[in-house]
Amino acid sequence: EDQVTQSPEALRLQEGESSSLNCSYTVSGLRGLFWYRQDPGKGPEFLFTLYSAGEEKEKERLKATLTKKESFLHITAPKPEDSATYLCAVASGGSYIPTFGRGTSLIVHP
């Protein structure tokens, strides 16, 4: 059974204070690891898919990295509009059916 653990549960940052969110996973045959952003009252918004260890992807102030056991979402010089819950998910085997973690709630203060 696939498992995903995200830490910390909540993170408060000052604007411009860089940090990282962690996603530890256990999976039999990784098909893909996904990062989503979710704002209150909305559905998750796709950010990245990582397929193999060593892969990195970037989008604006966000950079996602992947090892065989965990993924990090690095946030560089965050702004208040980066405040959201960040969800990590993994899919294994022959399908893209994801198992989600509980998310990290990020608040960036101006």
CA angle, 30 as apex, 29 and 35 as ends, to 5°?
A: 160
Which is nearer to other proteins, 17 or 60 (by Cβ)?
Answer: 60
Q: Determine the residue type at 40.
A: P
Is residue 96 within the footprint of other proteins (CB under 8 A)?
Answer: yes
d(CA 3, CA 66): 16
Which is nearer to other proteins, 53 or 76 (by Cβ)?
Answer: 53
Q: How far is the CB of 96 from other proteins (least distance, A)?
A: 3
Block residue for tokens 């992807």: 57
Give contact residues for other proteins (rule: CB under 8 A): 4, 32, 34, 36, 41-46, 49, 87, 89, 91, 95-103
